[in-house]
Amino acid sequence: MLGALQGGAHPLFSMRFSERTDTGMTTRRHLLGLGLATTLTLAAGCTGGAGSDDDGGAGGEITGEITVLTNRTDLAETALPAYGKEFEAKYPGTKVSFEPVTNYEGDVTTQLSSGDYGDVLLIPNTVAVDQLGQFFEPLGSTDELKAKYRFVDEKAFDGKVYGLSIGGVANGLVVNKRIWQQAGITAPPKTPEDFLSGLAKIKQTTGAVPFYTNYKDGWPLGFFNSQRAILGDPAINDKFPADPAPWQPGKIEYITDGLLFDIVHGGLIEKDPLTTNWEGSKPMIATGKVATMLLGSWAVPQMKDAAKAAGANPEDIAFWPFPYQTGGKFHARIEGDYKAAVSRSSDNKATARAWLDWFVNESGFAGDQEAIPPAVGQPLPAGLKAFQDTGVELVELPAATTNAGKEDEIIKESEIDLTGNIYRQKLVDIARGAAKGDKDSYFAELNKRWGDAHSRVMR
């Protein structure tokens, strides 16, 4: 009966299955979308508009209407139309309208296959790099654009760039400095061991939750994948997919996922991971009920806002590098977040391209969002400047070239969602004793699954 309600009558059943799946997806993505869109100032989440006319092609006049898809539902009625007005003032005769999409990744992926997806949009991460050319206009060659913009190779294929970042972020720990100070730690820990003992001191001396996983919402667990720069190896994105066993001791996943395991195993996280809440975690870290979360620089302004709203001191919130040094130095990855692109099916590519260029170069959007400006040479936002001044090297990791797209394929094939939360939730479950296994057995299993998929993909 349970099913009755859920499933419906059987002849229709499989049909219902797909409907239900969609509903579920919407729901969850919706949450995630809200999380990302309204709360995260994901630099990534910018609505960028990007337009391009045919690369080197027919140009066309900059006039008429364009539609820009955005995941920033929180800005779609306010800040974005203001940018739109500025653009329209510069190019009379144009009109920019924004279409906010709450469940951005899922909905836009569906729209892509239908052929109707606006003139300028953010490239959903579901599109593999070798498929970019099917849906988006090339914006220029990688070599040529590299001189002008950061992050150009993240959505590029075969020497052509399909998307421009609308604002970059740095990866690292968001901490409540005051709590760490109470535990006697004032500088970012340099090794995983120091970090763990620091968390343990916080637990003993302050009563705060040392590390908040955001297990239930899930996506914050994905930031353990954003720490690849810590090894200081610029070629890692090419090397990574070539490695059939990245969870071996000393390798990157062993370091990052291993730290997560140790944190959880040491009892240094919230009491019940199943009931964490992203929105609720912001005031918690702001007021010192939580000491640490692994996120990105985009989260800092939000936590400060939460501190102001809760009457706490926004200056307590600081941004620290991941606790691992190579060659005596911290390395933090900076990346471009969502890239804006011009739709290949756009009727008005000239205007779309003009909007994209204007939005990336002149709108000031990245600065307004405290993100890293995509144009080379523009200054870093103040918060990141301070972060860099503490001796952290900001590293932009070039995307894989010889193994372009392989990592995504292995992820799909092995169903180990490196960028997501599914296998990391299992890791947390094992570490807290809620599922069978231990660190070695789980890492061995991951190595095996990854290796099997690796051999199917790379052959």
Partner 1 sequence: MTVLLSRPRPSVETARPAKRKIPAHWFYLAPALILLITFTYVPVGNMVWYSFHKWDGLSPAMDPVGWDNYVRVFTDERYWRVFLISLYYFVASFAQIAIALYFAVILSFSTRFRNLFKGILFFPYLLNGVAVGFVFLYLFQPGGTLDSVLRIVGLGDQARLWLGDPDVANISLAATSVWRFTGLSFVLFLGAIQSIPGEIYEAADLDGANRWHQFRYIIAPGIRRIISLSFILAISGSLAVFEIPFIMTGGANGTRTFVIQAYETAFQFRQIGLASAMAVVLLLLVLLITWIQRRLIPDDEVSLS
Pick one of 11, 56, 249, 377: the residue that binds partner 1 (CB under 8 A): 11
Q: In whole angstroms, how close is the CB of 5 to partner 1 at the nearest point?
A: 5
For partner 1, give the closer residue by CB, 4 or 58: 4
Pick the stretch among 84-92, 202-210, 223-231, 427-435 that binds partner 1 (CB under 8 A). 427-435
**In Å, how far from its chain's centre is CA 285?**
20
Instruction: Give the separation between CA 87 and CA 120, rounded to whole angstroms.
Output: 14
Dig out the tokens for 204 from the structure: 């003993």
- By CB under 8 A, residue 459 contacts partner 1: no
- By CB under 8 A, residue 133 contacts partner 1: no
Pick the stretch among 16-24, 188-196, 248-256, 369-377 that binds partner 1 (CB under 8 A). 16-24
Instruction: Give the separation between CA 267 and CA 3, rounded to whole angstroms.
Output: 38
The pattern of x and - marking residues 217 through 236 that bind partner 1 according to CB under 8 A reads: -x------------------
- By CB under 8 A, residue 4 contacts partner 1: yes
Q: Which candidate, 150, 154, 176, 172, places its Cα nearest to that of 297?
A: 172
Contact present, 458 and 241 (Cβ < 8 Å)? yes
Pick one of 160, 429, 443, 457: the residue that binds partner 1 (CB under 8 A): 429
Q: In whole angstroms, how close is the CB of 27 to partner 1 at the nearest point?
A: 5
Instruction: Give the separation between CA 339 and CA 45, rounded to whole angstroms.
Output: 9
The pattern of x and - marking residues 26 through 65 that bind partner 1 according to CB under 8 A reads: -xx-------------------------------------
Pick one of 34, 128, 200, 245: the residue that binds partner 1 (CB under 8 A): 128
Instruction: Give the separation between CA 358 and CA 46, rounded to whole angstroms.
Output: 14
Q: How many residues appear in the chain? A: 459
- By CB under 8 A, residue 271 contacts partner 1: yes
Pick the stretch among 242-250, 255-263, 281-289, 428-436 that binds partner 1 (CB under 8 A). 428-436
Q: Which candidate, 23, 105, 106, 37, places its Cα nearest to that of 278?
A: 37
> Rule CB under 8 A: which of 196-215 touch partner 1?
215
Q: In whole angstroms, how close is the CB of 13 to partner 1 at the nearest point?
A: 6
Maximal C-alpha separation, the chain: 67
Pick the stretch among 1-9, 80-88, 249-257, 282-290 that binds partner 1 (CB under 8 A). 1-9
Give me the amino acid identity at 335: E
Pick the stretch among 14-22, 75-83, 318-326, 362-370 that binds partner 1 (CB under 8 A). 14-22
Pick one of 116, 158, 272, 347: the residue that binds partner 1 (CB under 8 A): 272
Task: Give, in degrees to the nearest 5, the angle at Cα 102 between 98 and 107.
Answer: 95
- By CB under 8 A, residue 3 contacts partner 1: yes
Pick the stretch among 94-102, 126-134, 297-305, 397-405 that binds partner 1 (CB under 8 A). 126-134
Cβ-count burial of 233 within 10 angstroms (0-12 exposed, 13-18 middle, 19+ buried)? middle
Q: In whole angstroms, how close is the CB of 308 to partner 1 at the nearest point?
A: 27
**In Å, how far from its chain's centre is CA 129?**
17
Going by DSSP bridges, is the β-strand pair 317-320/290-296 parallel, antiparallel, or unpaired?
Answer: unpaired
Strand pairing partners for 68? 98, 120
SS3 338: coil
Pick the stretch among 18-26, 224-232, 238-246, 375-383 that binds partner 1 (CB under 8 A). 18-26
CA dihedral of residues 305, 103, 295, 306 (deg, nearest 10) = 10
For partner 1, give the closer residue by CB, 389 or 436: 436
Task: Give, in degrees to the nearest 5, the angle at Cα 82 between 76 and 87.
Answer: 115
- By CB under 8 A, residue 21 contacts partner 1: yes
Cβ-count burial of 88 within 10 angstroms (0-12 exposed, 13-18 middle, 19+ buried)? middle
Instruction: Give the separation between CA 220 and CA 412, rounded to whole angstroms.
Output: 20
Binding footprint of partner 1 on the chain (CB under 8 A)? 1-7, 10-15, 17-18, 20-21, 23-25, 27-28, 106, 109, 112-113, 126-128, 131, 134, 215-216, 218, 271-275, 411-413, 415, 417, 420-422, 425-426, 429, 434-435
